[in-house]
Amino acid sequence: MEIIAYVRSVNGVEIEVAAERWAHVVEAHDYMSGNLDMVLETVAEPDFVARGRRGELLAVRLFEKTNISRKHCVVVYREEEKRGFVITAFMTSRADKIRRRGIVWERKN
């Protein structure tokens, strides 16, 4: 498995982005092409992290300017003991729906 990037989560866990997963992201959401840096920044410095439905985490960060407009980047990832991995990523204007899942971490302003 080829790893194309690493980033540290707010919990201090090293998160991997595998080439296969990144290909999945850009196939499912073509507007994410060219936005790997945005994904890494979202995991490293999110506005908040929400609970997923199956133990995964959702890092969310607002970007005033993206290639489609003002959007929140959402990165779904899983943390294991010493490492983790990105599952998928997308953009939304409905971060409130994700927030309702339950906040596990939030940036202090």
Q: Where are the domains of the chain?
A: 3-106
What pLDDT does residue 68 have? Answer: 87
In the structure encoding, which two tokens stand for residue 61, read together? Answer: 């960060």
What pLDDT does residue 50 have? Answer: 98
CA distances from 63 to 41, 77, 97, 101 (A): 10, 19, 17, 21
Contact 59, 49 (CB under 8 A): yes
Mean pLDDT by runs of 10 across the 109 residues of the chain is 96 98 96 97 98 97 92 98 96 96 94
What pLDDT does residue 84 have? Answer: 98
| pTM attached to this predicted model | 0.96
> How far apart are alpha carbons 92 and 17 in whole angstroms?
20
What pLDDT does residue 46 have? Answer: 99
